[in-house]
Amino acid sequence: MTAIVSKPALSERSKFIRRLLRRKTVAFGLIVLTIFVLLAIFAPLIAPYSPSKLSIINRLKPPGGTFIFGTDEFGRDVFSRTIYSARLSLLVGAAVVTLSAIIGVTLGLVAGFFKQFDAPIARLIDAMMAFPDILLAIALVAALGPSLTTVIIALSIVYAPRLARIVRASTLVIRELPYIEASRALGISTRHIMTRHVLRNLLSPILVQGTFLFASAMLAEAGLSFLGLGVSPEIPTWGTMISAGRQYIGQADWMTLFPGFAIILSVLSLQMVGDGLRDLLDPRLRKDL
Amino acid sequence: MIRYIFQRLFGMIVVMFLVVTIVFVIVRVTPGDPAAVMLGPDATSQDIADLRTQLGLDRSLGVQYLYYMGQLLKGDLGQSIFLNMPVTSALLDRAEPTFFLTVFSLLIASVIALPIGIYAAYRRGSIFDQAATALAMLAASIPSFWLGLIMMQVFAVRFDLFPVSGYGGPGSSFADRMYHLVLPAFALGIVSSALVLRFTRASMLDVLGDDYIRTARAKGLIERRVILKHALKNALIPILTVIGLTAAVLVSGAVVTETVFGLPGIGNLVVSAVLRRDYPVIQGALLVIAALYVLINFAIDMLYLLVDPRVRY
């Protein structure tokens, strides 16, 4: 008699993670992102020098030897600064995604669920989306004064309507489904229906869009810092590093190249993960892109 | 159809009204007194009071709003504090480089993206398709200002093929001015081509799976005719939308690219206005660009009516 040994059934979540990681681009993106996050968290342990340590005798040293990414105009180690910059760049991205998700999801849910609020919120979203993202962020930063907090608030205001539009559209569809009607008939409160029944079904598109917003926010932050309208130039972010490197690009192009590569690599990884998530999570959005 | 056009027109007016209101609010959320912020720490209280009167800040918010709307209806965007000229003139003076930079970038993006996107969809799953998709993703990850700096260093400084920056001296010819736009337009166009490429490919893939394409092939049409005449014609509508919307994205890119290349365009004007706290200029530029975006969207919708005989409202 042969014993039948059955493998324990994989949970839905494990199956999903397996399918996700089977995609090479997603696996690559996740590995790169994990490395960036680890670099950001353990920056003080990994960076060979302090990001602000000046050393005039070592100024504008090309990459190689003790300074693998070279040094900047003040003799600061570009490698250490690139690693420390990951902290702020990732922090801005994460904060913007969180804040814009809170604003966008609330607006989208309310507009999609309550007919009386739909038209005003939908028009407001249209109007907000008429402004090019960087330009609106610039205007908000100009009004509020440049600082890290302002940049996060400004970019969250800029990106929240994008999420709100998606959440609203999906809520309008879900609202009409029979199980929502059934929930109402059972006397479940509107708040409960919105948070437990509607929002739960919206997590996939929110997650996908959130990944792309993370990438957009990182690019926008770099752009604002490059223009001198973001965080203070003394604080190392990839944008401020490129901005500082610009003046020395003829004699020390490494000051511009390495932070640029860091932005490209992190944004590319986020896009790869976002694409993979979209393909797996939201077949309606799937366009074989 | 006329009813639809009027509905869209009404929707556009509502959105424009909201855009105008948002711009008004943004400038008024400035902490403290905008007049004091604009004039800096050395200003006397008399200067600040004069500017407050000039900008109408001494009146109630409601009155300010009505006055602002009234002025807008007359086409008056206010007066630039630092340039000492009407905002409308300041914007018009700087419109040329921004306009041509946007147009050239859009052309470059389309020339790169359309053929590659069409061919990638046609050869779906091939190495060419995979490479095109990967390149599009990479292009979308590059900050346009960074690419601009690198291109400037390589093609202008090292190989001396193009001017490093600026827009030609005063009185320079039109050709010379356009020559100054080549590098910035390529920097912006390459980055923007990613979006157009992805949509062209997706749109073509949608169409290529349709029955009428199989019919066209079955009746013995040559492949080029099937792709270019039958498929592309129908895939063109979403592509048109994306090209239109890319124009708006390009304006964002132009703001930063103009700063990199020292082009005296609207983007550069906005950035210097922010640094100088010249609020009327920021307000005016924001309004004009958002209005253009709304108009482009409206124009695309109207274009649908012309391009696609199926679209009848």
Most confident segment among B79-88, B142-151, B290-299, B302-311:
B142-151
B279 contact partners, CB below 8 Å, separation of at least 6? A142, B27, B30, B34, B38, B55, B81, B273
B9 in reach of chain A (CB within 8 A): no
Interchain proximity B19–A130, CB inside 8 Å: yes
Q: Do B15 and A215 touch (CB under 8 A)?
A: no
> Quick check: A271 and B141 CB within 8 A?
yes
Q: Do A249 and B149 touch (CB under 8 A)?
A: yes
Q: Length of chain A in residues, anyone?
A: 289
Q: Which residues of A touch B270 (CB under 8 A)?
A: 135, 138
Cβ–Cβ of A139/B282 closer than 8 Å?
Answer: yes
> Testing the interface with A: which of B149, B152, B200, B250 to mutate, by most A Cβ within 10 A?
B149
Q: How is residue A57 annotated by DSSP? A: G
Provide the token pair at B259: 């700063």
Using a CB-CB cut-off of 8 Å, the residues of chain A touching B27 are 139, 143
Q: Which pLDDT value is given to residue B250?
A: 83
- Return the residue of A nearest to B195 by Cα: A289
Query: Residue B226 — very low, low, confident or very high, per pLDDT cuts 50/70/90?
Result: confident
Tokens of A240: 């401020």
Is the minimum CB–CB distance between B205 and chain A shorter than 8 Å?
A: yes
Structure confidence by residue, pLDDT tens digits, A160-206: 999 999 999 889 888 888 888 888 888 888 888 888 888 888 888 89
pLDDT band with cut points at 50, 70 and 90 for residue A28: very high
Contacts (Cβ under 8 Å, ≥6 apart) of A275: A25, A26, A289, B137
Select from B270, B243, B254, B294 the least CA-distant residue to B83: B270
Q: In chain A, what residues touch B141 (CB-CB under 8 Å)?
A: 215, 219, 263-265, 267-268, 271
Mutate to test the interface with A, among B24, B81, B82, B145 (most CBs of A within 10 A): B145
Tokens of B37: 């912020």
Q: Is A64 helix (H, G, I), strand (E, B) or coil?
A: strand
Contact B5, B245 (CB under 8 A): no
The residues that bridge with A77 in the sheet, in sequence order, are A71
At residue A284, does pLDDT exceed 60?
Answer: no
pLDDT in tens, B244-300: 778 777 877 888 899 999 999 999 999 888 888 788 898 899 898 888 888 888 887
What's the angle, vertex CA A282, arms to CA B142 and CA B110, rounded to 5? Answer: 40
| DSSP characters over chain A | -----PPPPPPHHHHHHHHHHHSHHHHHHHHHHHHHHHHHHTHHHH-SS-TT---GGGTTPPSBTTBTT-B-TTS-BHHHHHHHHHHHHHHHHHHHHHHHHHHHHHHHHHHHH-HHHHHHHHHHHHHHTTS-HHHHHHHHHHHH-SSHHHHHHHHHHHHHHHHHHHHHHHHHHHHTSHHHHHHHHTT--HHHIIIIIIHHHHHHHHHHHHHHHHHHHHHHHHHHHHTT-SS-TTS--HHHHHHHHHTTTTT-THHHHHHHHHHHHHHHHHHHHHHHHHHHH-TTT----
* CB within 8 Å: B275 and A144: no
Answer for the pair A108, A164: CB distance below 8 angstroms, yes or no. yes
**Of the candidates A223, A257, A267, which has its C-beta nearest B145's C-beta?**
A223
Instruction: Name every chain B residue with its beta carbon within 8 A of the beta carbon of A287.
Output: 202, 205-206
The residue to which tokens 């093609």 are assigned = B155
* Residue A50 DSSP class: -
How close does chain B come to A198, measured CA to CA in Å?
28
**Is residue B6 scored above 80 in pLDDT?**
yes
Are B255 and B267 in contact by the 8 Å Cβ rule? The answer is yes
Q: Which amino acid is at B63?
A: V
Checking if the pLDDT of A289 tops 50, the result is: no
pLDDT given for residue A8 in this prediction? 62
Chain A: residue whose CA lies nearest to B151: A249
Give the Cα separation of B247 and B266 in Å (integer): 15
- As a whole number of angstroms, the longest Cα–Cα distance in chain A is 80
Give the pLDDT band of residue A288 (cuts 50, 70, 90): very low
Chain B closest CA to A234's CA: distance in Å?
A: 17
For B209, residues 6+ apart whose C-beta sits below 8 A from its C-beta are none
Cα–Cα distance between A69 and B286 in angstroms, integer? 40
The nearest alpha carbon in chain B to A142 belongs to B274
Q: Give the span between the Cα atoms of A142 and A132, in whole angstroms.
A: 15
Q: Which residue out of B27, B142, B146, B199 would a mutagenesis test of the A interface target, given it has the greatest number of A Cβ atoms within 10 Å?
A: B146
Query: In chain B, which residues have their Cβ closer than 8 Å to the Cβ of A228?
Result: 275
Q: What number of C-beta contacts closer than 8 Å exist between A and B?
A: 145
ipTM for the whole complex: 0.87
Distances (CA, A) of B225 to A224, A250, B232: 47, 50, 10
Mean pLDDT score, A61-80: 88
CA–CA gap between residue A160 and residue A147 (Å, rounded): 20
Confidence class for position A287, pLDDT limits 50, 70, 90: very low
Q: Does B274 touch chain A (CB under 8 A)?
A: yes
Q: Kindly list the residues from chain A whose CB atom is less than 8 angstroms away from the CB atom of residue B289.
A: 131-132, 135
pLDDT of B148 above 50: yes
